[in-house]
Amino acid sequence: MEEKKFDIQSLIGFFLIGGILIWMLYNNSFENEPGQTEKETTEQVQEVPANIPSQEQPAAATDSTTMAQAQRELGDFGYSSTLPSATDNSTTIANDVLELTIDNKGGYISEALLTQYKTYDSIPVYLIKDGNADFNINFTTTDGRVLDTENLYFEPTLSQSGNNQVLSMKLKVSETEYLEYLYVLKPGEYMLDFSIRSQGLREVINPSQDVSLDWRLKGYRFSKSISYENRYTELYYEYDDGTDDYLGHGDFTDDVEEDVTYVAFKQHFFTSILLTDTPFERGKFTSRNLVQDEDIDTVYTKEYTTSLDLALKGGELNYNLNWYYGPTDYQILNNYDRNLDEIVPLGWGIFGWINQYIFIPFFSFLSSYLPSYGLAIIVMTIVVRIVLSPVTYKSYLSQAKMKVLRPEINELNDKFKDNPMKKQQETMKLYSKAGASPMSGCLPALMQIPVFYALFQFFPSAFELRQKGFLWADDLSSYDTIAELPFTIPFYGDHVSLFPILASIAIFVYMMMTTGQTMQQNQQPGMPNMKFIMYLSPLLMLFFFNNYASGLSLYYFTSNLITIGIMLVIKYAIIDEDKIHAKIQENKKKPKKQGKFAKKMQEMMEQAEQQQKKGKK
């Protein structure tokens, strides 16, 4: 089961939605890189010559004196520094969706290009480029030297196995003694097989000292709003046979767990993941926020590090792993059946289940038939509101009953204004006789909260919406812009988004409609200022959603319009207040059998009233 933390933005959103619903309750109411085609890539798949020409020999191999010094420093691995591969060369493997460049030095990926995607400003999406990532195995030799593989040169051998490209990177002590990284890239896959294994190094690696795998990555900015993107940029990890967690959004967060099975450096819509078949004994994770000023820090979002303990088996290393470099797409990640779908923040508990089993399949179905993702959002909204219309009806019916009873409740308020306990008793009797209750409107409205919050999580995480436009919005996964401001308004931003304005207006109109006669009543002591809440809630939505996904604002705008329409139909075509009044009067005449709970409550109130009278004496 997943263990999710409540980040502050989700918390604000939850309370914003909850606040609006409380108001209702109170009123009862996101091409291959140029220059290389897939065919050319396949033609290049061959063994790398054993004598790779040297372009830039490292300083350690320039003359016999420095060579001898280098070999003394490197000990057994001095053999690698004399090989033709000891140059700053690299090898590229690619398929139709992913292009990886692996350097001889360190044997790790220096560039990871997703060929099918562009950033918000039409630049190719590189998850790794220009030294933003490091991969290193740190170990101690039997003679006490501490070595880092990122500073040593591997020998590449590229070959073909069926349709798969296989790249072997060997850090050699001799031809038969080495540490090997093996990369296997399959056609059309973002996931590649990766293995770490050693041969003949039992007398080289000190088994009494820790061997660690260290991985670091600084996440690039890919979206229009770096602050919004950073909100969904997180380090996830799985440990303890299926438990998943993440570090959160603080300026610096860290954690330590045992039996780690994957680590994901998630960048909102793109993710780098390291998975293992053999759990790492222990993992240390850190996340550092690099966005301190959106106007200045516009290159990176967060910096991640992880340190994983490697175990020797018979004095050797042997790990079967996988790398994933690709989109944070729920459908793709879920198809691997490795619990990677937990990286997509769909919400915890029932909210996540609603998204997984209802909204994601349904939205995928709609978007495959409709010409626009915006239309798919609108149609899904219509269906959701129709499905919830019985709940809306129940809530409005309860509101209508309370409206009819308002004059009698006011009489009781006036009659027992000096005796709150008696006033409460008589009010409950009136509700009981009339067959009405304020709670009868609360429960239907509460049933809508899981749906509202599930959708609040769904739209910002829906990869399908990335760079898909609708009307004036050019990207439904980001904010829409109708005007750029020459200054920045705190909490609002430097732009004006139209969809949040429309959604706020619709909410305001809805609140005005559901207010009924409540606003005309005198404000009761101890009760919240409902007129203030009626103006504050749309204003909070306007500020909060100005930097949110426009698809979410489009949903709320459409949803509130439909709700307003449904309520008008209910009010003028379905519910007859005169009939409700007559029904209530008829119910009042019938003998009403009290339930055990109601009877107990009445007894408690009567006892409290008697004690109150005794106290006055």
Confidence band for 271, pLDDT divided at 50, 70 and 90 = very high
Structure token digits, residue 42: 């396949």
Q: Which residue would you say has higher pLDDT here, 528 or 334?
A: 334
Please give the Cα distance from 323 to 107 (Å, whole number): 14
User: Quick one: average pLDDT of 350-355?
Assistant: 87
Which SS3 state, helix, strand or coil, does residue 465 take? Answer: helix
Residue 519: other Cβ atoms inside 10 A: 13
pLDDT of residue 187: 94
The model's pLDDT over 577-602, given as tens digits with 9 standing for 90+, comes to 666 666 666 655 555 555 555 556 55
pLDDT of residue 49: 40
Contact between 139 and 147 under an 8 Å Cβ cutoff? The reply is yes
pLDDT of residue 196: 94
In order, the DSSP letters of 466-480 are: TT--BTTBS-TTS--
Q: State the Rg of the chain over Cα.
A: 32
Please give the Cα distance from 83 to 75 (Å, whole number): 15
In order, the DSSP letters of 209-253 are: S-EEEEEEEEEEP-SS-HHHHHHTEEEEEEETTTEEEE--SSSEE
Per-residue pLDDT at 562 exceeds 90: no
| Buried/exposed code over 467-489 (b: 16+ C-beta within 10 A; e: otherwise) | bbebeebebbbbbbbeeeeeeee
pLDDT of residue 237: 93
pLDDT of residue 515: 61
User: Quick one: average pLDDT of 295-305?
Assistant: 82
Per-residue pLDDT at 519 exceeds 80: no
pLDDT of residue 352: 84
Half-sphere exposure of 26 (CA within 13 A, CB side): 18
pLDDT of residue 333: 93
Q: Which residue would you say has higher pLDDT here, 434 or 127?
A: 127
Q: Which residue would you say has higher pLDDT here, 524 or 406?
A: 406
Confidence band for 411, pLDDT divided at 50, 70 and 90 = confident
The model's pLDDT over 15-56, given as tens digits with 9 standing for 90+, comes to 555 555 555 444 443 333 334 444 343 333 334 443 333 333
pLDDT of residue 47: 42
pLDDT of residue 215: 96
Find, among 301, 329, 162, 332, the residue nearest to 232 by Cα: 301
pLDDT of residue 583: 63
**Which of 82-91, 120-129, 420-429 is the least confident region?**
420-429
**Which of 188-197, 307-316, 497-506, 513-522 is the least confident region?**
513-522
Provide the mean pLDDT of the chain.
78
Distances (CA, A) of 313 to 173, 180, 199, 209, 320: 19, 15, 11, 14, 13
Which sequence spans correspond to the domains of the chain? 13-29+352-589, 53-345
Which SS3 state, helix, strand or coil, does residue 460 take? Answer: helix
Confidence band for 377, pLDDT divided at 50, 70 and 90 = very high
Distances (CA, A) of 344 to 80, 205, 334, 468: 42, 39, 10, 19
Per-residue pLDDT at 243 exceeds 70: yes
pLDDT of residue 611: 61
- Which residues partner with 205 through β-bridges? 141
pTM, two decimals, is 0.76
Three-class DSSP labels, 326-388? EECCHHHHHHCCCCHHHHCCCCCCHHHHHHHHHHHHHHHHHHHHCCCHHHHHHHHHHHHHHHC
**Which of 96-100, 295-299, 378-382 is the least confident region?**
295-299
Structure token digits, residue 507: 């909410």
Q: Which CATH fold topology does 53-345 show?
A: Beta-galactosidase; Chain A, domain 5 (2.70.98)
